[in-house]
Amino acid sequence: MFSQYKKALISVADKSGVVSLGRDLKNLGFEIIATSGTQKLLSDNGIEAIKISDYTGGTESERVKTLSQRIAREILETGEISIVVCNLYPFFEQEGKTLNEMIEFIDIGGVTLIRAGAKNYPKVGVVFSPNQYDDLIKALKEGRFDEEYRLNLARQAFDYIAWYDTIIAEYFNNGISGRNFFSTGAEIFIPMRYGENPHQRANFYLNRLLQKKFLIHGGKELSYNNILDAEIAIGCAMEFEECACAIIKHQTPCGVAIGDSLSEAYERAYIADSVSAFGGIVGLNRRVDKETATRIAQIFYEVIIAPDYEPEALEILQTKKNLRIIQVSREILQPVMFRSVFGGILVQESDQKDFTEWQVVTKRAPSPYEAEAMKFAWKVVKWVRSNAIVLAIKGRTVGIGGGQTSRVGAVEIAVKNAGPQTAGVVLASDAFFPFRDGIDAAAKGGVSAVIQPGGSKRDQEVIDACNEYDMAMVFTGFRHFRH
């Protein structure tokens, strides 16, 4: 049964809305106990509040403010403090600080207050967000502050402190090495109308620090599928030091290119597969200029994502009312990736490996032109779903085959997509060729050089096939599977 005591404890780092809340609680007959900073704010606004050190007979220090046996007993046991209003030090908002500085933003007492109040929800109600204050007061006035209401507050409170602790754990454990437990400190960022399909519910959750690095400058509401494709688009474009553009459909690159300017890179990526580009997602690795924006605005796209935009470029793109315009920094690409399986989570490091040298295994070594084209294709193929094949000329894809259950099938699709563009074409394969049939299919498509991991039991057969066609082939020694 709910405690009849009318005491409220207020201890907040985020003081927005607390004056109005304090006034409402006083009008409802509550005695207010508050930490020194909050108590001063309330008193300065004419709201009587007892300083917590006076209430407990103790003293506040920089690190110890609310921890006391009396406070704990009156929340956790007796329920004499029937409302707890507490939010935590903003650890999640700190950037560029040393470890010793960050430690001072780890809240101890606040977490204890929230946990104690949530555990004793039959007697105590806990709120932590200014967004909850109005409904709390309404519930008190309307007689809705019952056990069911307080249980719902407790659910939200446990979620809040779990999220807070996870943010801290992520800070201390960058990556996955040596971790026995895994969680993510993401919080709801974009509520979505639906997921991959209209009958699936979905939300986009993002770490609060990363939310500052993910800006939306206009367009329709982002969809679940938009975000999946946008990550591939910016990730693929960011692979390159040169000006680069990647156009994506259904998480698969349809055109990728580099150029001397961003507009040239975009134009080359577009002509790589102009049919598939329609309605796609454009990723760019440089600040978007006016010329590039003008060209992009001539075609229908769902999303454009880039690290920055010139003001004139942004104005041009914003004339396309439905075009979603996203700005992200490189830090948004995380070193760890994970997915849900069987109710658990698979976690792995992001695929950031690149070769420093390769092994020429055929009689003919690649020409300088072929070598440059192969390096380019190898960077692209890791962003294509396995089995993945990329056909490219220097600095531009011409045909992509991905997501196939046989490697030769992926080659045949890439060759078909390339059409008549056969002069100087090289091939990148994300994994080894199990048979020579993939090389035979590549030769029919005019491929002159191949880059692949090697490692098949039939490597020699594949090498022999390349020699028959006077193809150059190199082994990288590692694969780029993507599922």
Q: How much is the CA Rg of the chain, to the nearest whole Å?
A: 29
Q: For 28-39, give one letter per residue: b (16+ CB within 10 A) or e.
A: eebbbbbbeebb
* H-type alpha helices, 173-223: 208-211
Is the CB of residue 283 less than 8 Å from the CB of residue 324?
no
Own/partner pairs, 220-224, CB within 8 angstroms, 24+ separation: 220/321, 220/322, 220/324, 221/190, 221/192, 221/193, 222/190, 222/192, 222/303, 222/324, 222/326, 223/192, 223/193, 223/194, 224/192, 224/194, 224/195, 224/196, 224/200
Task: Tokens 């207020």: give the residue.
Answer: 10
Hey, which residues are catalytic here?
A: 119, 250
Which sign does the torsion angle of CA 100, 104, 109, 112 carry?
negative
Write out the H or E segment, with its range, that includes residue 141.
helix 133-142
For 322-357, the DSSP string reads T-EEEEE-GGGS-SEEEEEETTEEEEEE------S-
